[in-house]
Every structure is written in C-alpha cells, then in structure tokens.
Amino acid sequence: MKALLLENIHPEATRILTAAGYDVETRAGALSEEELVSALDGVNLLGIRSRTHVTDNVLRRIPAGLNAIGAFCIGTNQIALPQCATKGVAVFNAPYSNTRSVVELAMAEIVAMARHLTDRNAQMHEGIWSKSATGSHEVRGRRLGIVGYGNIGSQLSVLAEAFGMRVYFYDIQDRLAMGNAQRCDSLDELLSKAETVTLHVDGRKSNAGFFGADQFAAMRPRSLFLNLSRGFVFDDQALAENLKSGHLAGAAVDVFPTEPKSAGERFVSPLQGIPNVILTPHVGGSTQEAQVDIGRYVANKLQEYMDTGSTSMSVNLPEVNTPPRHGVRVLHIHRNVPGVMAQLNSVLSGHDANIAFQALSTRGDVGYAVTDVTAATSGWEEDLAEVPNTISCRVIR
C-alpha cells in the first residue's frame, strides 16, 4: 500500500502511516493537475493541503486504486468532493486542529494594529526612535465584529471578551452566542457597529467576492480589517484603496486571491507597502502544535478508514461508525438507488454467508454498506463487486 503526502505535511503523518505499513512518499510543494495525475499511479492514500487541487479532471484520469484523500487543513474546497464520492474515494480533513492557532494570530494582529507595532518596529530597524502615543490605542472597550461564527469565530469571541472587547457577530446560520457577544441580523448592521471587522467564513463558492468595495465603504471610518479565512472572499484592490484614502486605519491579511504555489515564487499584492498593514503568507494555522495535531488527526483517520472502513468525520461519504471486525469485512460503496442492499444480501445468501454485522448509510447520491461475513462458500467477493450500481467494493481481512 502506498501513500503520497504533498506540501510539507508534518512528519507525524509520515510516522503514523509508515508504522501502519504504508510506503510513504513525501514532496515539499504542490502539484499541478498534470503532475498529480502522473504521481497518483499506484497510490492508495493522498495527503494534500490547500494548494493542490484534486479536480474532476484529475479524478477521471487517474487509475483505480486511490481509496482516500486527507486534507491536512480545515478547508476542502480544493477537492471535488461529489466526484470523489461517486468514484468511491473517501475524503477527510482536520476541521478543529488549528482553530486555536488562527484565533491567537487574529487576536495578536488586532493588538498590533491598534498599537501600530509593525510601523514602530520598521522605524526602529531603520534607527528611528519615535516614542509617541499618537494613533496608539488599547483594544479594551473597542467593538469587534466577527463575520462567520463557527469554530474559529466563536473561540475568537471568547478570547476577545477576555481582552475587554465588545463583540458583535454575523452568520448566515443560527449560532449560539458565546459570553456577552451580540448577534447582528445583517452584515450591514455589523459593519455599522464594529470598529474592527474580521472574516472567518468557509470556502463555499457562494462566499466568493462577498466582501468588496461596498462593504469596505460601509465600515466605520478609521476601523481595522482582518481576513484569515479564504483569499477569494474579499477584494484586495478595494481594501488597498480604502487604506490609502485613510478610510480604514489598518489591515491584517493572511490569505489572498492569488497566492504563490511554492516558496520560491514571488508574492505580489496591492496591499504591499501600505502603513499599518500586516501581511502573512497563509500561516494562520501554521504553528508547530497545530501541524502536529493535524498530521496526527488526518493520518489516523486515513488509517482507520483503511483498517476498519469507518467513515466517521468523512466530508463526502455516508457516515458509518464501525465496531471491531468479526470475520471478513466488506466495504461496498454504491449509487443510492432502491434495492442495492437486497441484491447484496441475495448474493450473500446464495453463498450461505453468515452475517455477523451489517450497517448501511446514505448521503446524497451515494450509499455505503459495511458487512462482516464469518462464513461463506467461495466466489462471493467477486459476485458482490458485480452487483448493479456498485461504485467500489473493498474487502478487509
């Protein structure tokens, strides 16, 4: 069994998969579609981060054998999830492992912008001693607006309140307020109240470009802006214009509409060179602690799926939490149409099979059946794979 890990995934993942018996190949950078198609020949497990895109085109061209993909990050918008499901490829991610890392960076940047620390630091490195309180503020008592109140947004809410900030939030879903945070009924309401606005939205396509010139114009004069979520959700040119005009007092951006694919590629942004602007290279979740946790969590999920068939926390396949295996375990992924289970059991019955455990779960167009067989006549495995509407059939012994 072979695993391919791209984009500098933490060595903890390599250690776990190697110990489980996998031949693990690691590569430092992301791969293009053509490179990925070539690299996936003979690969059973693929590990990526955010810059490698597993598209429908890639999935149609790779040979059979890829069982699962691990996204060693939060987002999965770089993966064609429905197409993975219809090809029988399970996808797992790490939705919570780097939450604290992102939250701590956001809070540090809020303080840094309020105190103009990056400008003071640059002056000191140039030999300029400019001791002044002009433009420097405490964050205590100031109003923070959080757009997107999921795992990261809600934890930031708690930490910001501990700093004495007044927190407002807006989310398209009904979210429970943490502490004394106040819900806003619209984005416009939040923008009219907050002195600092921070984006923590997910990577769904509908979020593309949702924060642009109109939203920046609606922000309070001399307020601060942060984006540590997705690069494509905001207009960086509009942000630059509002900073240069003085409408906004500062910004901290960790993700960009266009990002280099490797460390050697030059980064270019309209936000470069503007005072009180903090630019970081997509490192919101890149702490040693978070990367170890992500490496461990996703690698264990991949191994668990391969060893037991468990799809717990899979982002694209029906969820089945599997018990300890009794006999031979059959993992049958199929199109979600009536009668498939009856056909599976008819095959097993025809081979005098003894079923020790069976579970079925469906999700959209895909069904997933897990069956433990303790006794049967020969040939039943091949017959199960030939059942109509089968996507894939894998046996664990």
Q: Which domains does the chain have, with CATH numbers?
A: 1-97+287-317 (3.40.50.720), 99-279 (3.40.50.720), 320-397 (3.30.70.260)
Enter the tokens of residue 137.
Answer: 């503020």
pLDDT score, position 372: 96
Taking the model in full, what pTM does it have?
0.81
SS3 389: coil
Amino acid at position 124, single letter: M
Q: For tokens 């992102």, name the residue.
A: 102
pLDDT score, position 295: 96
* Per-residue pLDDT tens digits for 243-258: 999 999 999 999 999 9
**Band (216; pLDDT cuts 50, 70, 90):** very high
**Band (286; pLDDT cuts 50, 70, 90):** confident
Say how far apart CA 206 and CA 211 lie, in whole Å: 11
SS3 101: helix
Reference 256, options 27, 51, 33, 7; nearest CA is 51
The residues annotated as belonging to the active site are 230, 259, 282
% of the chain beyond a pLDDT of 70: 100
Query: Could you give the angle at the alpha carbon of 146 between the alpha carbons of 141 and 147, nearest 5°?
Result: 155
pLDDT score, position 377: 87
Tell me how far the alpha carbon of residue 155 is from its chain's centroid.
17
Question: Between β-strands 248-253 and 223-227, what pairing exists: parallel, antiparallel or unpaired?
Answer: parallel
